[in-house]
Structure 1
Amino acid sequence: MNFDWPFFWKSLFTPSEPFLQGLVLTIVISVVAMVLATLLGLVLALMRRSPYAAVRWCASVYIWVIRGTPLLVQLVIIYTGLAAVGIYRFHDVSLVGFSVKAAVQAAIIGLMINESAYIAEIIRAGLDSVAKGQFEAAASLGMTPAKLMRWIIVPQSLRVMVPPLGNSFNGMMKTTSVLSVIGVSEMFLVTQSISSYTFHTFEIFIVAAVYYLALTTIWTFVQAWIENRLSRQLGIDQRVPITQRLLGARRAATLQPAGE
């Protein structure tokens, strides 16, 4: 097998319009699903902290079921299963001048549901990281629960939550490749289509891998910037080296002799 270098470089630097559309759709689905999943995850995390056992139980069962079943199965159930049993069938809709296909709607909902179960645990862990004494101190000052969350809890817990939330988003951008199973024309499905009529399977999938890598690398820089900004706002002099983010490299700690 001969590697077609001209085709590879052309596809990499001047990709076709369908490929670019698939790339844009991948980004849009990832961003929208992540925003919705974060909002739903916040609701679930607060439900897990509810004083009412029934509310805590509902949130726990939801998280248990969603985290215990594959995303691929959830997508098929949402898009195909619900329609098969007559519960709900997705239809193309027009939203602010854009046509949103039925499969795209199902994909966003499926990713939102799946990711929210993980984000709920991230948010809950972040909220639990704040010392309970601060809750009691705020209550003694007469702060309302809303003000307590806004001024005391959220600023401190955000720094704990941002790294795993960023990693979740990074992972979800790559997970969008499974959306091809329900016919979403994201980057992976477009790549498959290009491969089928050009017969340059190896070359075009390497191009797709490079673009996935570019997306996750760009987000890695954004995530590091967010973490460093939060650290500065909290008065913490601790920057996140980009090499540590990308390669897992850590600078060796300097050990000081005892007594110095």
Structure 2
Amino acid sequence: MTDKLAKVPAGASPAPAGTPPEAIKAIPVRHFGRWVAAIVVIALLALLGYAFSQGNVRWATVPEKLFDPSILTGLWNTIQISVASMALGLVLGILFAVMRLSKNPVTSTIAWLYIWVFRGTPVYVQLLIWFNLALIFPILNIGFYKDEMTDVMTPFLAALLGLGLNEGAYMAEIVRAGIQSVDEGQTEAAHALGMSQSRTMRRIVLPQSMRVIIPPTGNEFINMLKTSSLVVAVQYPDLLRAAQDIASVSFAVMEMFFVASIWYLILTTVFSIGQFYLERHYAKGSLRSLPPTPWQKIKANLRFAPSKRSGGTA
């Protein structure tokens, strides 16, 4: 049986047997819209930079006050109140999420009321209520302890209660969603093995629900860093309060707002990187291949392309 020869153009000789086919010449599609969009964005950024350069801003004040001792003290206070409030919110979130899922109507109703009140009112109003609690209770008397409310409700405590209780309402819904994401068969299997309800929650349910809880919790903490600027209403000496104090003396109002914004951007960037690695750690059991780290992405982009294509000639 003879082999069938492929049709070739007139006047052209067929390629000898064993010759590799010619490489396909792929012509990339030109996306002119991308170039237009990039030019428009660059032009807008240039106009924005030009507008700020022409404004009445003393730019030399920004790097000068960036590491001012008062700013650094306020920065540390911001980190402290954010971490403490987030820790309180996380503990309350786990507690009220378990209460909300309880079959006891009393505990589930109390948890629902807590979430309804603290998630339904602005955090700024809650801060003011805690700070002015002495107007309702001038003296704090709980039997074994008695003192004036103005001495008890310090700016730190008012900020902690205002931010922490509000955050607890949001964390309760996040934790509840994470717990409900675990298959009920796992709980039933743990009970069949003789594990109690609390031990099943600690050993089986909560560890598996961390993959669902961690990402929104990181977002909530980053949001907490920015929301902590509201504690200026209760006279807590945070980063924004320090910037305002310097601005009232130096009359560099906008410059100090820029300083505070730079530090908030630095904080959110650092904690965003930490959130990425934390999510990457808890994703080990659910993903076949973990997402590359920023350093791995940089190394991949810096890698040189091979000089020879496989199957081609030099």
1:207 corresponding residue in structure 2: 259
1:7 corresponding residue in structure 2: 61
Name the structure, 1 or 2, with higher relative contact order (CA <8 Å, separation 6+).
1
2:174 corresponding residue in structure 1: 122
Query: 1:184: how far off?
Result: 0.7
TM-score relative to the length of structure 2: 0.70
Q: Distance in 2 between matches of 1:90 and 1:128?
A: 43
Give the 3 Å change call, closer, same or farther, for CA 240–67 of structure 1 in structure 2.
farther
Task: Assess if the C-alpha contact under 8 Å between 1:40 and 1:116 holds in 2.
Answer: yes
Task: Assess if the C-alpha contact under 8 Å between 1:90 and 1:106 holds in 2.
Answer: no
Cα RMSD (Å):
1.7
2:45 corresponding residue in structure 1: none
1:41 to 93, 114, 131: 93
Map 1:149-168 → 2, pairs under 5 A:
149-168=201-220
Gaps of 5+ in 2: 1-54, 141-148, 295-314
Structure number with the higher helix fraction is 1
Count matched residues: 231
Q: Which amino acid aligns with 2:56?
A: N
1:254 corresponding residue in structure 2: none
2:291 is aligned with 1:237: no
1:91 corresponding residue in structure 2: 151
Q: Distance in 1 between matches of 2:68 and 2:162?
A: 28
Map 1:125-204 → 2, pairs under 5 A:
125-204=177-256
Q: Distance in 2 between matches of 1:66 and 1:238?
A: 40
Give the 3 Å change call, closer, same or farther, for CA 184–241 of structure 1 in structure 2.
farther
Q: Distance in 1 between matches of 2:289 and 2:258?
A: 37
Q: Distance in 1 between matches of 2:224 and 2:183?
A: 31
Task: Assess if the C-alpha contact under 8 Å between 1:127 and 1:157 holds in 2.
Answer: yes
Q: Distance in 1 between matches of 2:292 and 2:60?
A: 37
Q: Distance in 2 between matches of 1:41 and 1:155?
A: 16
Give the 3 Å change call, closer, same or farther, for CA 114–20 of structure 1 in structure 2.
same
Deviations 1:66-115 (A, max 9, x none): 111011111111110x20012641426xxxxxxxx810111011111110
Gaps of 5+ in 1: 93-100, 244-260
Query: 1:25: how far off?
Result: 0.2
Identity of aligned residues (%): 39
Task: Assess if the C-alpha contact under 8 Å between 1:48 and 1:60 holds in 2.
Answer: yes
Q: Distance in 1 between matches of 2:292 and 2:102?
A: 38
Q: Which amino acid aligns with 1:86?
A: F
Q: Which one has the largest radius of gyration?
A: 2
2:271 corresponding residue in structure 1: 219
Q: Which amino acid aligns with 1:91?
A: D
Match of 2:60, SS state, is: helix
